[in-house]
Structure 1
């Protein structure tokens, strides 16, 4: 399997020399880092990373996220998580904006656990939020303040950093269309959140020796101590999709990533995803994609 890009790899390979040294000199590599996009090279290959990233992108280019390819033609705020592969190829000569990188260690140490379950970091949504001039100005200011605070000697600077991150998160939520914004968290929303947490914790997979264990709606319902029918009703009301559809979509996403970017053979992928027999995996894959795993593997350049 192609190794994930680590946060250290990112600093070494992407940043220009002056910015690179500033970042690597920091004693806490897992801490939050903020730097201008002008300080990094404009190409990122398609792969997973081991860190979260929020990018304010001003400049045009091509963005690929999982199986979606999008041409960015106006300023946007993008959210990336460690579970999904992505790439970026700059097109315009002028590229500006900001990058903010952080790891699970930072989230846990600063009690920002809900970020992982926020709509902004969910794997099923395209994490692109187009900005008008006022939104761009506000977010640029917040990134600048983050940058100042990262380099400060203030004893409680991590509290301040957390506050600025929350503000960026909320500014992004404001950008979302009203139709996808959620009201206050209720019991159904909490069940849906826990379902997503259980589903995502299983990925990515690396080896058939450590296969996925939760595969059916009944598996998830048992973990959540609720009836399968209730789980289906809740997910349908919150997401518009059944539990079966959500599970299948995530498994297909992972299967395609493994077929394209791992050294596992098709049988090993089947076992890693919890299928008892490769033939069952082949049938499942073809039913949901219209093609076979072998054809996907054979099409790799």
Structure 2
């Protein structure tokens, strides 16, 4: 069921919890508190944590429940201004110049003003985020900032300080209302303190078993109750192991969905072995679980549920 959107920002921590709940996001009070403060203080929210714990989903839920557009800047190594902020439509500019010349126009300054006008400007995510209307400022998701280099991080620092961008040919474009900024990082490298100081910070950890079970029930409602419980307990035990990449909540949901598609009512050794690639994404981790370690974990899960 789609989340019901609201037009105004939450007025309390309880309202924020309800907002996230309406979007199907199971949050603890600490997250709701820092999100509420970020919205009230108009400060970017810096979310750090392992991949797959639900950082990006927070921005998506906010966009849906607040009825705001979601502008996503997916970061990667080598991200530059032309991809992140703006660039000119050079092909259209050249056509315009040829048409002006063919019509006999010789005023070069007038031609230049014409081709460097907004109709030839291609707005990338940063500029799009600064173009929101008052009362409807977008949710600006800067996803996986740690994948970019320090040069782009320094540029972003200027954008987040004044919510403006200077385009040499046009001048300074300033946001009528600052966007709601959500920054995520998987902590593959440290982000400079200067940027963090401009944000409110929250570490998004793996959920408790109770919260993760509630997440699975919401995201995969067709899953058998016993199966959901076994899946969550199994994943929670995997996270206590020294694996190369621990499974995130996203993988838990995927596994529950896959097993539900297979009409499974409970875990068994063969099913775990056949589907472990949905949960774990590195061969060394899979090889370790495929042996006796995986069976031992499953036996512990069964014993705990039978004793409950």
- Please report the TM-score for the alignment, with normalisation by the length of structure 1: 0.27
Higher relative contact order (CA 8 A, sep 6+): 2
Q: Which has the larger radius of gyration?
A: 2
- Please report the TM-score for the alignment, with normalisation by the length of structure 2: 0.27
